[in-house]
């Protein structure tokens, strides 16, 4: 019969010792290290377990009590478990949450509820997969400082714009710009004005991606002309905050005016974008973005700050310590942002190829048939790196919340919540709650490999590691 092995969390349970204490004893050499399995996780044989039990009993006699910390948020966790997380009839597009499309973003009610229950005013909340900045916006509104990290350069722009306070007066050039483009759009639509001669796009258009086969395949000539003028005008705005709002408004309409089927399908379709349409869409998107940004700004208290970092979370990013993490991480086969955001990125002079290399979970990496195709082990290793980083930056005793669905990898179902919890517990987190959330029938998350996802999990972990860059009690 095969020998039974125990995982760290089982040993800590059987021996009645906190897993942090157990890990510390191992580090200090007070009990011998057990073997490790192919995932590099400790596996304890029955005699390893006996060693732990013996040492625990010895310590108990010498200096009881030895268990360290009581959970301080237990009432809040109980409350979180009783909430109806479906938020079926809630308005999810308030304030600036919808000024730019972003597939697979979570509804703002999720970070809002978690932030209210698991942090205090003045705390710092991080989203290491910030996407369209949902967590950042909610954190700032609730009087928390916000940190957002994302490897997608488009996310950096969206987050920076959406989490920046602006004054009504400073936005005057943007309202004027919106009006001018609306008027130009009307004039072009009525056929009273031609923007450029038909030969114009034979050459490189200043400040736009080169007129190569890509741009010709995906955009009508009249759209290329109008987007070029819009981009040129945006880049001439001197104030960075103002310029970035205008560029974001341009980016927000790129897919609608292209031949790309939608934000979640990178296939070509016939479009009927007429002269003047692109100007008019830009004008209304810009005016709306500015209005919503001003509205949000009036809700953000003066003393909170937002920090947006463009970077790959697997590269040990340097950032301040935080009190709460709330995110919806990328997971295998869920999406390919580098692909679906390609047109927007190229119009913004961003590099989709560089992001492609860093993107976690992309459908492209997991559906590849080559020997370097990503697998469940790839994702496990990435989760381990991410959680180790979080354990060093998140203050001890505080929480990390992950909202995630399941994956299918090469036809095999993978329960991402279980994988995350197993790795997290091995690193030194404790599971506080794993809440199941049904997705609205009409608003299910999209997963190209397995279609619509019907439900997802909200996994709440507590950082119980003792050795940490961030000191406890803050
Ligand atoms: C599900 S989305 C997050 C959406 C976000 N919760 C929102 O509401 O907008 C996952 C994000 O992970 C980002 N991402 C993928 N790989 C990454 C990496 N290696 N480092 C940092 N971010 C990454 C993607 O760019 C994407 O924005």
Closest residue to atom 2 of ligand 1, CA basis:
131
The contacts of residue 146 (CB under 8 Å, 6+ apart) are 124, 125, 126, 127, 135, 136, 139, 140, 163, 304, 305, 306, 307
pLDDT tier at 362 (50, 70, 90 boundaries)? confident
Domain assignment present for residue 2? The answer is no
Answer yes or no: is pLDDT of 39 > 80: no
Domain assignment present for residue 131? The answer is yes
Domain assignment present for residue 157? The answer is no
The DSSP element (H or E) to which 352 belongs, if any, is: helix 352-358
Answer yes or no: is pLDDT of 220 > 50: yes
Distance CA 227, CA 246 (A): 12
Query: In this structure, how many other beta carbons lie within 10 angstroms of the beta carbon of residue 120?
Result: 12
* 148 and 199 co-located in one domain: no
Write the CA distances from 116 to 120, 121, 141, 326, 398, integer angstroms.
Answer: 7, 9, 11, 12, 13
DSSP sequence for 274-316: PTTHHHHHHHHHHHHHHHHHHHHHTTS-TT--EEEEES-GGG-
CATH number (domain holding residue 132): 3.40.50.150
Helix (H, G, I), strand (E, B) or coil at 129: coil
Answer yes or no: is pLDDT of 22 > 90: no
The number of C-alpha atoms within 13 Å of 310 and in the hemisphere containing its C-beta is 13
Tell me the average pLDDT across 55-65: 73
* CB-ligand 1 contact for 19 (6 Å cutoff): no
Among 435, 455, 456, which residue's Cα sits nearest to residue 80? 435
**pLDDT at residue 472 in the model:** 46
Write the CA distances from 419 to 11, 84, 405, integer angstroms.
Answer: 19, 25, 11
> Which range has the worst mean pLDDT, 42-56, 140-154, 178-192, 213-227?
213-227
The phi, psi pair for 327, rounded to 5°, reads: -155, 160
Q: Find the helix packing angle between 8-15 and 416-427, rounded to 10°.
A: 60
How far is the centre of ligand 1, averaged over its atoms, from the C-alpha of 88 (Å)? 24
Top mean pLDDT of 57-61, 442-446, 450-454 is at: 57-61
Domain assignment present for residue 471? The answer is no
Answer yes or no: is pLDDT of 381 > 80: yes
From 19, 36, 62, the end of a domain falls on 62
* 313 and 287 co-located in one domain: no
Distance CA 216, CA 188 (A): 21
Distance CA 453, CA 334 (A): 10
How many degrees, rounded to 5, is the angle at CA 337 between CA 374 and CA 131?
115
How far is the centre of ligand 1, averaged over its atoms, from the C-alpha of 337 (Å)? 8
CATH number (domain holding residue 51): 1.10.1660.10
* 423 and 361 co-located in one domain: yes
* CB-ligand 1 contact for 106 (6 Å cutoff): yes
Question: What is the Rg, in whole angstroms, of the alpha carbon atoms belonging to the chain?
Answer: 25
Distance of CA 187 to the CA centre of its chain: 41
* 207 and 293 co-located in one domain: yes
Tell me the average pLDDT across 205-213: 55
* 454 and 320 co-located in one domain: yes
Task: List 409's β-bridge partners, or say none.
Answer: 412
Write the pLDDT tens digit of every residue in 223-237.
998 999 999 999 999
Report the nearest atom of ligand 1 relative to the CA of 358: 19
* 286 and 332 co-located in one domain: no
pLDDT tier at 61 (50, 70, 90 boundaries)? confident
pLDDT tier at 198 (50, 70, 90 boundaries)? very low
Q: Domain range spanning residue 129?
A: 74-152+302-336+353-463
Is the model's pTM score more than 0.85?
no
* CB-ligand 1 contact for 154 (6 Å cutoff): no
**What is the average pLDDT score of the chain?**
87
Answer yes or no: is pLDDT of 407 > 50: yes
Tell me the average pLDDT across 145-172: 97
Closest residue to atom 3 of ligand 1, CA basis:
131
Answer yes or no: is pLDDT of 473 > 60: no
* CB-ligand 1 contact for 246 (6 Å cutoff): no
The DSSP element (H or E) to which 388 belongs, if any, is: helix 376-393
How far is the centre of ligand 1, averaged over its atoms, from the C-alpha of 236 (Å)? 30
Domain assignment present for residue 162? The answer is no
* CB-ligand 1 contact for 360 (6 Å cutoff): yes
* 177 and 282 co-located in one domain: yes
Closest residue to atom 18 of ligand 1, CA basis:
312
Answer yes or no: is pLDDT of 57 > 90: no
**pLDDT at residue 74 in the model:** 87
How far is the centre of ligand 1, averaged over its atoms, from the C-alpha of 129 (Å)? 4
* CB-ligand 1 contact for 153 (6 Å cutoff): no
> What is the domain count for the chain?
3
* CB-ligand 1 contact for 56 (6 Å cutoff): no
Q: Hey, what's the torsion of the CAs at 328, 334, 337, 341, to 10 degrees?
A: -110
pLDDT tier at 125 (50, 70, 90 boundaries)? very high
Residue 470 and residue 397 in contact, taking contact as beta carbons nearer than 8 Å: no
Answer yes or no: is pLDDT of 337 > 60: yes
Cis peptide before 471 (omega within 30 of 0): no
Domain assignment present for residue 98? The answer is yes
* 238 and 101 co-located in one domain: no
Tell me the average pLDDT across 394-423: 93
* CB-ligand 1 contact for 134 (6 Å cutoff): yes
Report the nearest atom of ligand 1 relative to the CA of 329: 10
* CB-ligand 1 contact for 109 (6 Å cutoff): no
Task: List 400's β-bridge partners, or say none.
Answer: 325, 461
Domain assignment present for residue 469? The answer is no
Report the nearest atom of ligand 1 relative to the CA of 335: 1
* CB-ligand 1 contact for 155 (6 Å cutoff): yes
Closest residue to atom 22 of ligand 1, CA basis:
150
* CB-ligand 1 contact for 11 (6 Å cutoff): no
Distance of CA 152 to the CA centre of its chain: 10
* 256 and 388 co-located in one domain: no
Task: Specify whether the backbone of 430 is left (phi greater than 0), alpha (psi in -120 to 50) or beta.
Answer: beta
Dmax over CA atoms of the chain, in Å, equals 93
From 37, 62, 87, the end of a domain falls on 62
Helix (H, G, I), strand (E, B) or coil at 334: coil
* CB-ligand 1 contact for 345 (6 Å cutoff): no
Distance CA 73, CA 129 (A): 25
Distance CA 65, CA 80 (A): 31
**pLDDT at residue 193 in the model:** 66
Tell me the average pLDDT across 288-307: 95
**pLDDT at residue 70 in the model:** 39
Domain assignment present for residue 43? The answer is yes
Write the pLDDT tens digit of every residue in 263-278.
778 888 888 899 999 9
Task: List 125's β-bridge partners, or say none.
Answer: 146, 324
* 293 and 306 co-located in one domain: no
> Which range has the worst mean pLDDT, 104-118, 194-208, 314-328, 447-461?
194-208
Distance CA 195, CA 210 (A): 19
Write the pLDDT tens digit of every residue in 420-429.
999 999 999 9
Answer yes or no: is pLDDT of 447 > 70: no
* 306 and 293 co-located in one domain: no
How far is the centre of ligand 1, averaged over its atoms, from the C-alpha of 331 (Å)? 9
* 329 and 440 co-located in one domain: yes
Percent residues over pLDDT 90 in the chain: 63
- Tokens 């463009």 locate to 310
Query: What is the number of H-type helices and E-type strands within the chain?
Result: 18, 15
């Amino acid at each position: 019969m095969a020998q039974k092995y125990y995982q760290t969390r089982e040993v800590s349970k059987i021996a009645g010792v906190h897993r942090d204490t157990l890990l510390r004893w191992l580090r200090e050499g007070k009990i011998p290290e057990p073997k490790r399995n192919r995932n590099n996780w400790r596996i304890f044989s029955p005699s390893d377990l006996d060693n732990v039990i013996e040492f625990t009993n010895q310590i108990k006699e010498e200096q009881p009590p030895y268990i360290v910390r009581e959970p301080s948020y237990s009432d809040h966790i109980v409350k979180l478990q009783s909430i109806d997380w479906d938020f079926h009839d809630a308005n999810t597009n308030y304030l600036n949450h919808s000024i730019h499309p972003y597939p697979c973003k979570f509804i703002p009610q999720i970070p809002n509820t978690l932030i209210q229950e698991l942090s205090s005013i003045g705390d710092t909340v991080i989203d290491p997969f910030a996407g369209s900045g949902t967590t950042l916006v909610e954190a700032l509104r609730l009087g928390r400082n916000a940190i957002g990290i994302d490897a997608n350069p488009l996310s950096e722009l969206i987050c920076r714009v959406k989490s920046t306070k602006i004054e009504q007066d400073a936005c005057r050039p943007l309202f004027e710009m919106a009006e001018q483009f609306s008027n130009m759009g009307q004039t072009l639509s009525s056929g009273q004005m031609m923007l450029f001669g038909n030969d114009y796009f034979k050459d490189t258009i200043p400040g736009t991606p080169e007129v190569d086969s890509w741009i010709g395949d995906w955009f009508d000539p009249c759209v290329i002309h109008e987007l070029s003028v819009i981009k040129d005008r945006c880049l001439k705005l001197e104030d960075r905050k103002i310029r970035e709002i205008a560029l974001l408004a341009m980016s927000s309409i790129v897919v609608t005016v292209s031949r790309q089927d939608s934000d979640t399908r990178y296939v070509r379709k016939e479009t009927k974008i007429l002269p003047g349409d692109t100007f008019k869409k830009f004008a209304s998107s810009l005016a709306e973005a500015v209005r919503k940004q001003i509205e949000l700004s009036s809700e953000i208290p003066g003393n909170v700050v937002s920090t947006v970092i463009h970077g790959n979370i697997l590269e040990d990013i340097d950032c301040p310590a935080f009190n709460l993490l709330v995110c919806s991480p990328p997971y295998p086969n869920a999406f390919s942002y580098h692909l679906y955001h390609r047109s927007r990125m190229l119009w913004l002079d961003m590099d989709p190829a560089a992001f492609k290399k860093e993107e976690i979970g992309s459908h492209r990496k997991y559906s590849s048939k080559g020997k370097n195709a990503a697998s469940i082990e790839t994702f496990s290793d990435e989760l381990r790196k991410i959680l180790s980083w979080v354990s060093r930056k998140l203050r001890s005793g505080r929480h990390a919340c992950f909202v995630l669905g399941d994956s299918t990898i090469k036809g095999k179902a993978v329960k991402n919540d279980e994988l995350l919890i197993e790795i997290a517990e091995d690193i030194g987190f404790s599971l506080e709650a794993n809440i199941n959330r049904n997705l609205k029938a009409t608003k299910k998350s999209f997963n190209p490999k397995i279609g619509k996802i019907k439900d997802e999990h909200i996994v709440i972990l507590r950082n119980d590691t003792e050795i940490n860059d961030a000191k406890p009690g803050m």
